[in-house]
Amino acid sequence: MTQPTPMIEVTNLDKFYGAFQALKNIDLTVQQGEKVVICGPSGSGKSTLIRCFNGLEWHNSGRLVIDGIEVYDGAKEIRELRQEVGMVFQQFNLFPHLTVLENLMIGPMKVRKISKTQAEETARNYLDRVHIPEQAEKYPAQLSGGQQQRVAIARSLCMETRIMLFDEPTSALDPEMINEVLDVMVELAETGMTMVVVTHEMGFARKVADTMVFMEAGQIVEISPPEQFFTNPSSERCRLFLNQILEH
Partner 1 sequence: MTDLGITRGKGQPLPKPPFYKRFFDSTLVSIAIYAVVIGLIAYGSYAGAQGMGYNWQWYRVPQFLYRNTEIGFEWGEIPIGLVATIKLSVTSFLLATAIGLLVALLRLSGLVVGSAVAVAFLELIRNIPLLVLLYLFYYVLGPIFSFDRYTASILTLAIFHSALISEILRAGINAIPTGQWEAAKSIGMTPYQTYKYIILPQSVRFMLPPMTGEVVHLIKSSAIVSVIAVAELTTFGRNIISDTYMSFEIWFTIALVYLVVTLILSIGVSHLEKKYAVDQ
What are the residues binding partner 1 (CB under 8 A)? 54-56, 79-80, 82-83, 85-87, 89, 91, 93-97, 106-107, 110-112, 139, 141, 152, 155-156, 159
Between 88 and 178, whose beta carbon lies closer to partner 1?
A: 88
Least CB distance to partner 1 at residue 221 (A)? 27
Between 100 and 212, whose beta carbon lies closer to partner 1?
A: 100
Least CB distance to partner 1 at residue 152 (A)? 8
DSSP H/E element including 29: strand 20-31
Between 127 and 221, whose beta carbon lies closer to partner 1?
A: 127
Least CB distance to partner 1 at residue 91 (A)? 5
Is 47 in contact with 17 (CB distance < 8 Å)? Answer: no
Least CB distance to partner 1 at residue 74 (A)? 13
- Residue 121 makes CB contacts below 8 A (sequence gap 6+) with none
Between 149 and 211, whose beta carbon lies closer to partner 1?
A: 149
Alpha carbon separation from 188 to 137, 185, 206, 243 (Å, rounded): 24, 5, 15, 29
Own/partner pairs, 102-106, CB within 8 angstroms, 24+ separation: 103/140, 103/151, 103/155, 104/151, 104/154, 104/155, 104/158, 105/158
